[in-house]
Amino acid sequence: MAYEPAMVPPKKSKRTLFIVLGVVLALCCCGGATGGFLLYRVAKDATDPARATVDTFATAVVARDYPAAYGQFCAQVRDRLGEADFARQQSAQPELTGYEILGVNVMNTNGRVHGSANVRFTPRDGVAITQVLPLVKEDGDWRVCD
C-alpha cells in the first residue's frame, strides 16, 4: 500500500485578516466623521440666525444704541415696555465695554420654536455680568423675549 499524504487545507494569511479589519475600521471612521460633520452643520444652521439676533442686540446695548437694541425685542416685551423706558433703564446701568456670547440653544417644543443665549457683558468697572436672554421665533425672525 502506497502512502498518500493527507490533504492539509491551505493556511489562511493573517495579512488578509488585517487588511479586512483595516478596511472596516476605515469605513467606520469615515462614516463617523461624516455623520459628526453633518450633525454639526445641522446644529450650526439652526443656531446661527438666533446667534445673529443676540449679536445685534448685545452690540447695540454695548454701543448704547438703545433703539437698535429695542428693535430686537419680541412684541410681548415691546407691548409691555416702551422704547423710552427701555432707554432710561439702560442708561442707568454701568457702561459696558464688550460682550461674549457663551452659548446659544434652540429648541422646538410641540411646534413652539424658542431658545436662549448666555451672554457675558463686560462693564468698564467691576465684574463681568452673565445674562440669559430668552429667545422666541416670531414671524420667522428670532427675537429677545421673556
For 90-124, write each residue's pLDDT tens digit.
999 999 999 999 999 999 988 889 999 999 999 99
Going by their DSSP bridges, the two strands 112-123 and 96-109 should be labelled as antiparallel
pLDDT the model gives residue 146? 80
Higher pLDDT, 14 or 33: 14
* Cβ neighbours, 10 Å, residue 77: 17
Cβ-contact 105, 132 below 8 angstroms: no
Sheet of 129-138, strands arranged across: 96-109, 112-123, 129-138, 141-144
Report, in angstroms and rounded to the nearest whole number, the Rg of the chain calculated over CA atoms: 29
* Domains, in order of start, for the chain: 47-144 (3.10.450.100)
Residue 35 confidence (pLDDT) above 60: no
- Give the largest CA-CA distance in the chain: 115
Residue 45 confidence (pLDDT) above 90: no
Higher pLDDT, 44 or 89: 89
pTM for this structure? Answer: 0.71
Of the pLDDT bands very low, low, confident and very high (cuts 50, 70, 90), residue 12 is: low
Of the pLDDT bands very low, low, confident and very high (cuts 50, 70, 90), residue 4 is: low
- Quote the cell numbers at residue 46: 439652526
